[in-house]
């Protein structure tokens, strides 16, 4: 397996282009299953997760082109030949479950394997099942697969989500576009990726109101058409690279970024003494002092602090002045990067869903092991601040969510390289 080698102590200077959002694109791609007409996505990120979703859609009979040549994905589902999402593909990525709603809405049946992804805690499918059942679906779990059918099509319903699940909101949102009558999602997720999906679906002819709030109303239509849609900027990649000059020193402009996408995160950076200014091209970030100040962080659904930036924030706080407390309220097993940071000299104590970080003056390079996608990049960020060499092993997770991280950081002055595995 490949590893990433970082030799720390190099301040950063320059511009980093931010890609289209992985999590948005993974929800937008299954929308092609709702229509016979072409759906084209621009600003699509080039990631292994996007390739996995491409394989899944192709296994259902969709045509997907453009992944290898650039940032445009052209898709059409005029000749679907299956409703089964097999384990061998779905096990690689949680977002594979997003074909469930579209397949049910258009074809009245779906067989979808329980999904995989990063081992960061339980992300139950029962929210999806309960929601689609309210809309008239009959769903049975057997041999690791969800067997879903609907006798006379999905029907509009009031769907209260017990948790503001992003995936469940996306599944119901897509399914409701072709359901008979009106569907109201209560306690809907509010993330920018939800807003992006709603805008795309509206471009295809869907009738949707309320995206970005906790109540989304969808009036079902008989059919959807095609559309061309630009994928929103990846707020998690944006936040990750905003931390790079804070950790390594220097100043970086993140191209394509907006404060609207990372408001809660930017507030914490300001409290830590970090300068974030909007420019005509994006966001410029630098540290106001030699070391950032300690801050406390609680992860919450949007518009709160994102769980997907918790690991990267912990890496920054390892060398902050003072003591920080991070509380993880989204996933119960998302501090697996802490022992690896401790190997680099960090002072961290984990108790359940809380991590206390006592800032140290300097980290030291060490061989470390990546446990999930965001942990991978947090260790790379820590390596930017460490004395000596850090080798991050098992970085296959990294390519699921970041386009050529070594190239982007190397272009602004980091001493970083990818070492092919044997």
What confidence tens digit (pLDDT) does each residue in 125-143 have? Answer: 889 999 999 999 999 988 8
Give the chain's domains with CATH numbers: 3-18+233-419 (3.65.10.10), 22-230 (3.65.10.10)
Overall pTM surpassing 0.85 (yes/no): yes
Mind listing the pLDDT tens digit for each residue in 137-184?
A: 999 988 888 999 998 899 999 999 999 999 999 999 999 999 999 999
Q: Looking at per-residue confidence, does 124 or 248 come out higher? A: 248
Cis omega (within 30 of 0) for bond into 190: no
Exposure b/e, 379-417, CB count within 10 A at least 16 = b: bbbbbbbbeeebbbbbbebbbbbbbebbebbeebbbebe
Task: List binding-site positions for phosphoenolpyruvate.
Answer: 22-23
Residue 371: both structure tokens together: 């446990």
Provide the percentage of residues in the chain whose pLDDT is more than 90: 80
* DSSP string for 116-174: ----SS---SHHHHHHHHHTT-EEEEETTEEEEE-SS--B--EEE-SS--HHHHHHHHH
Q: Which residues are catalytic?
A: 118
**Are 93 and 400 contacting, i.e. CB atoms less than 8 angstroms apart?**
yes
| Cα torsion through 105, 31, 209, 163, rounded to 10 | 80
Crossing angle of helices 263-271 and 235-248, rounded to 10°: 10
**Are 393 and 369 contacting, i.e. CB atoms less than 8 angstroms apart?**
yes
Phi, then psi, of 186 in degrees rounded to 5: -100, 145
Of 48, 52, 373, 413, whose CA–CA distance to 237 is shortest? 373
Mean pLDDT to the nearest integer, 372-384: 94
Task: List binding-site positions.
Answer: 22-23, 94, 308, 330
Residue 70's pLDDT band, with cuts at 50, 70 and 90, is low
Task: List binding-site positions for UDP-N-acetyl-alpha-D-glucosamine.
Answer: 94, 308, 330
pLDDT of residue 67: 61
Alpha-carbon separation of residue 352 from 81, 111, 259 (angstroms): 47, 36, 32
């Amino acid at each position: 397996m490949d590893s990433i080698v970082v030799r720390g102590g190099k301040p950063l200077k320059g511009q980093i282009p931010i890609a289209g959002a992985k999590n948005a694109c993974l929800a937008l791609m299954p929308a092609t299953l709702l229509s016979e007409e072409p759906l084209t996505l621009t600003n699509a990120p080039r990631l292994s997760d996007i390739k996995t979703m491409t394989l899944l859609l192709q296994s259902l009979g969709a045509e997907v082109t453009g992944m290898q040549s650039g940032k445009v994905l052209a898709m059409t589902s005029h000749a679907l030949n299956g409703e089964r999402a097999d384990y061998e593909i779905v096990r690689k990525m949680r977002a594979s479950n997003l074909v469930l709603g579209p397949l049910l809405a258009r074809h009245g049946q779906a067989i979808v394997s329980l999904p995989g992804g990063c081992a960061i805690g339980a992300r139950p499918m029962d929210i999806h099942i309960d929601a689609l059942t309210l809309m008239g679906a009959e769903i049975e779990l057997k041999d690791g697969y969800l067997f879903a059918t609907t006798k006379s099509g999905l029907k509009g319903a009031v769907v209260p989500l017990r948790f503001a699940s992003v995936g469940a909101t996306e599944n119901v949102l897509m399914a409701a576009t072709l359901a008979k009558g009106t569907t109201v999602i209560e306690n809907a997720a509010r993330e920018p990726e939800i807003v992006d999906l709603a805008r795309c679906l509206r471009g295809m002819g869907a009738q949707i109101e309320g995206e970005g709030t906790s109540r989304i109303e969808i009036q079902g239509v008989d059919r959807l058409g095609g559309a061309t849609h630009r994928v929103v900027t990846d707020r998690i990649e944006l936040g990750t690279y905003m931390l790079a000059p804070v950790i390594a020193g220097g100043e970086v402009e993140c191209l394509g970024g907006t404060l609207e996408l990372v408001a809660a995160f930017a507030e914490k950076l300001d409290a830590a003494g970090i300068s974030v200014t909007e420019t005509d091209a994006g966001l410029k970030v630098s540290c106001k002092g030699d070391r950032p100040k300690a801050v406390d962080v609680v992860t919450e659904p949007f518009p709160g602090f994102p769980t997907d930036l918790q690991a990267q924030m912990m890496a920054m706080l390892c060398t902050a002045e003072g003591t920080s407390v991070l509380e993880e309220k989204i996933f119960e097993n998302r501090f697996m990067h802490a022992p690896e940071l401790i190997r680099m000299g960090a002072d961290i104590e984990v108790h359940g869903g809380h991590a206390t970080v006592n800032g140290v003056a300097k980290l030291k390079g060490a061989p470390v092991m990546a446990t999930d996608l965001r942990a991978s990049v947090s260790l790379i960020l820590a390596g930017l601040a460490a004395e000596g060499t850090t080798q991050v092993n098992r970085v296959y997770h990294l390519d699921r969510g970041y386009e050529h991280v070594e190239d982007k950081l190397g272009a602004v002055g980091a001493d970083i390289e990818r070492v092919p595995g044997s």
